[in-house]
Structure 1
Amino acid sequence: MHRLSVPVADGALALVAGTAALLGTPHAARLQDETGPGRGGYALVALAAGSLALRRRAPGPALAVCGAAVAAYLASGAPFGPVLVLLAVSVGSAALHLPPRAAVAWPASVLVGATLVSLPGVDGNPLWALWMVLPWAAATAWRARRDVTRRQREEELRRSAYEERLRLAQEIHDSVGHGLAVIAMQAGVALHVLDRRPEDVRRSLVAIRDTSRASLDGLRGTLQALGLPEGADGPPLAPVPGVEQVERLVEGVRAGGLEVALRVEPDVREVPEPVGQAVYRIVQEALTNVVRHAQAGRAEVTLGLDAGELLVVVSDDGRGASSAEGQGLGLPGMHARAAALGGELSAGPSPSGGFRVAARLPLPARVP
């Protein structure tokens, strides 16, 4: 919907308010058994209304002009009338659009000036001040509420932006971090067997190549999702990883020389996409920590069901607590993924030795 510009909108308001005030002034005079204000009085009403055209662009001077016009109108002996409504609008506009201190100073100056000048109907009659005090109080209260709402909205936007940056950082950390850990492991294996078993070097280099490609595809997909506007064309994104890709993930770690046992119950493969993605990322990060920190010879990944929850357990026979050395985005990210689905995750040394990561993720009830 097209909105009018400030000058046009305020000019229209001044025109409508001025017309109504000019038409209503003689009726107000008759109700008070008074005569009309005369041509000079009507000119002052028109001047007060015309000042409203500047109520947002120059609210202070507009209030000064309106206040002076109303004071001159009353000084001429004209009766109370719609001109006071124009003053109320001008006071409210000043309270809304001036800086906080000026929003108090300008209306107060007009009020004090009108009080000090002996005006017919005003001198000794405090009720007339309500035409200034009430609109000022109402506008100030509305402005305070508006400012609170704006600050809350800005805070929500900042929090949403922060959460989105954190989510993207977590995605890049999980995909690229795992790939780099596997590449480092494969490169170490290649250097270790370079002189004794040169034929094994080729297998490690192939694994490095495949892992690099997979990591680059994941990074490209994340960056493309971040950079392309909605509906824009681009190369296809890599599929969202899920439970089905866990086996391939484990095979990549095995290729680096770490023995990894995988146990997956059949029904686990039929889970909602958000749960499957969380399973994949938790297993990925847990195996990355094993490769980077545990100095383990064997790891085990178990995916099972228990009382409507999906259980994810990754354990190793490494150094135990030292497996948690990566205190960057890894463990907090796994906790956050589980919590986002209403689940929970624990990570710590296993009683039998090594390190153990265990997550319980609730599953939606299945319709029979």
Structure 2
Amino acid sequence: MTMPFVVPRAPELPDATWTAYGLTSLMVLPLVVRSRAPVAVFLAVLTAGALYVFTVDGPGQPLPYTGLVAFYTVAELSSPPKRLGSALLTAVAVLFSVGLGSDELRELFFSLFAFAAAYAFGRFTVTRRACLRAVEDRARQLELTNRIEAEQAAARERARIAREMHDILSHAVSLMIVQAEAGPVAVRTAPERAEAAFDAISETGRDAMVQLRRILGVLRENEGPPEAPREPQPALAGLPGLVERVRGSGPAVSYEVTGHPRPPGPAVETTVYRIVQEALTNVVRHADATTVRILLDHGPEALTLTVTDDGRGPGGGAGLGLVGIRERAAAHGGTARTGAGPNGRGFRVRVTIPRTRHEREPRQEPGTKTVTEQRTGAES
């Protein structure tokens, strides 16, 4: 608004006065606080402009820039009633200003268009700010969701590793304790049995170390070379060897496979192996049993594992081992039931893992028996 006071004017036009210069300054200075009081600043700018037009014969401007800025701020920060009142007041001011000036329709439309554009830009700023807030909120929510999912995944992984460590150490240490306790007695009565007991302790310890190294290697997989070899997880083929190691600790263990064996998948095979391992560990540590029967039934709809012993029967049922058995079965959509054995004697673990639809598809070939039975161990 001060450009006419800086650039020399035509000789036929009146010179700019200090009064006119002061009024133009009054039209600009209120814009400093326009964010705090947009309507008050807008009224102040209109009042200063009216005083300039009616009291001072100063240089004019093609557009009232301060009025456009003030009206933009009202559109951006004010409530709907205040915006409506300011818009009506602006239309009246434009009509009077054009009527006192050139009184041309073209100038009237141009001025109304300019103020409408200022109002539209003000509302667009509000919409843009709301969109940015929504995007930021979604980003924060996504970050929170990702963090929660990462924490849950870490918790599941810690629980899985804890189960693996518990199964490996509990089974190995239990067998080693039983063999170590029997060793001194065997040294005095049957030296050859003592030697076998110490061999069993050594073999059990080496097997536990191998499995622990495998788990620790997985935990440190990012530190080693990507081509480092990894041993496979235990599977159903390893159950006979597990049974043989436990049989050397005292109880007579039998292992039977019935039904039509079909590979249930590596994850399920590892789960079954770990459940058998934990069940046998409980037998060695707590049951004081003489016989244990392991039955693995490959049914058409589910894989069923039953481990039954003739020991002292169920205890509290709240040990970490039994909890781990239930968690392993639930991870594959299965169930695990534990309790007293037949006729209330001993203890029985029964785990049912449903087959997937792909596993349930019939794949029997000509000449294949519908029932296959494998027996390993002592016959009672």
CA contact 1:294–1:323 (8 Å) conserved in 2: no
The percent identity for this pair of structures is: 31
Q: In 2, Cα distance between the equivalents of 1:147 and 1:294?
A: 54
Give the Å deviation of 1:298.
Answer: 1.6
Which residue does the alignment assign to 1:305?
298
1:237 paired to 2:190: no
Given the superposition, is the C-alpha separation of residues 125 and 205 from structure 1 closer, same or farther in structure 2, using an over 3 Å criterion?
A: closer
Q: Are 1:355 and 2:355 an aligned pair?
A: no
- CA distance in 2 between counterparts of 1:269 and 1:239 reads 19
In structure 2, the partner of 1:331 is 322
2:360 is the alignment partner of 1:365: yes
For the 8 Å contact 1:176–1:218, the answer to whether it is kept is no
Instruction: Report how far residue 235 of structure 1 moved.
Output: 6.2
What is the aligned partner in structure 2 of residue 190 from structure 1?
A: 183
Stretch of structure 1 that moved more, 258-267 or 303-312: 258-267
> How many Å separate the matches in 2 of 1:311 and 1:265?
10
Aligned Cα RMSD in Å? Answer: 3.2
Asked which structure has the greater CA Rg, the reply is 2
SS for the counterpart of 1:314 is strand
2:248 corresponds in structure 1 to 255
What's 1:181 paired with?
174
Distance 2:316 2:231 in 1: 30
Q: 1:366 to 1:125 in 2, by over 3 A?
A: closer
Map Cα deviations across residues 153-190 of structure 1 (whole Å, 9 max, x no partner). 11001111111111111111112221111111111221
2:36 aligns to what?
112
Task: Answer yes or no: is the 8 Å Cα contact 1:265–1:305 preserved in 2.
Answer: yes
Aligned twin of 2:142: 149
1:297 and 1:317 in contact (8 A); partners too: yes
**Counterparts of 2:266 and 2:147, CA distance in 1:** 32
Measure the CA separation in 1 of the matches of 2:295 and 2:231: 25
Q: 1:75 aligns with which of 10, 25, 28?
A: 28
Greater shift, 193-202 or 137-146, is seen at 137-146
In structure 1, list runs of 5 or more residues that go unmatched.
1-35, 40-71, 79-108
Instruction: Tell me the distance in 1 between the aligned counterparts of 2:229 and 2:268.
Output: 23
Report how far residue 214 of structure 1 moved: 0.6
Corresponding residue for 1:127? 75
Q: What secondary structure, in the 3-state scheme, does the structure 2 residue paired with 1:261 have?
A: strand
Q: Letter of the aligned partner of 1:241 in structure 2?
A: P
- Corresponding residue for 1:212? 205
Q: Is the 8 A contact 2:175 2:204 kept in 1?
A: yes
SS in 1 for 2:36: helix
Q: Secondary structure at the match of 2:160?
A: helix
Match of 1:290 in 2: 283
Contact kept, 8 Å, 2:335 with 2:351, in 1: the verdict is yes
How far residue 262 of structure 1 moved from its aligned partner, in angstroms, is 1.3
Residue-by-residue CA offset, 1:199-220 (whole Å, 9 max, x unaligned): 2110000001111111100000
Q: SS where residue 35 of structure 2 aligns?
A: helix
Q: CA deviation at 1:237?
A: 3.2
In 2: Cα distance, 1:231 partner to 1:269 partner: 36
Equivalent residue number for residue 15 of structure 1: none
- Tell me whether 1:343 sits opposite 2:343 in the alignment: no
* 2-structure distance, mates of 1:356, 1:180: 22
Distance 1:77 1:212, change over 3 A: closer
Pair 1:210–1:124, CA change in 2 (3 A): closer
Spell out, residue by residue over 1:126-176, the C-alpha distance to the aligned partner (whole angstroms, 9 max, x if none). 424344543333333332222222111110011111111111111111122
Which amino acid letter does the alignment assign opposite residue 145 of structure 2? Q
Q: Whole-Å Cα distance in 1 between the matches of residues 283 and 132 of structure 2?
A: 62
CA distance in 2 between counterparts of 1:303 and 1:322 reads 24
Tell me, what secondary structure is at the counterpart of 1:195?
A: helix
Indicate how the Cα distance of structure 1 residues 127 and 269 shifts in structure 2: closer, same or farther if over 3 A, else same.
closer
**C-alpha distance in 2, partners of 1:188/1:264?**
33
Q: Any idea what SS the aligned residue of 2:230 has?
A: coil
Question: What TM-score, normalized by structure 2, do the two folds share?
Answer: 0.63
1:14-42: per-residue Cα shift (whole Å, max 9, x none)? xxxxxxxxxxxxxxxxxxxxxx9979xxx
2:219 aligned to which of 210, 216, 226: 226
| Structure 2 SS opposite 1:315 | strand
Q: Note the C-alpha offset of 1:264.
A: 1.8
State how far apart, in whole Å, the 1-side matches of 2:167 and 2:304 are.
20
Residue identity opposite 2:286 in structure 1: H
Aligned to 2:20: none
Q: Among residues 278, 300, 314, which one is paired with 1:321 in the alignment?
A: 314
Name the counterpart of 2:52.
none
Cα displacement string for residues 277-331 of structure 1 (whole angstroms, at most 9, x for unaligned residues): 1111110111111111112222111111233211100011112112736x12x11
Aligned length in residues: 270
Query: 2: CA distance between counterparts of 1:110 and 1:297?
Result: 92
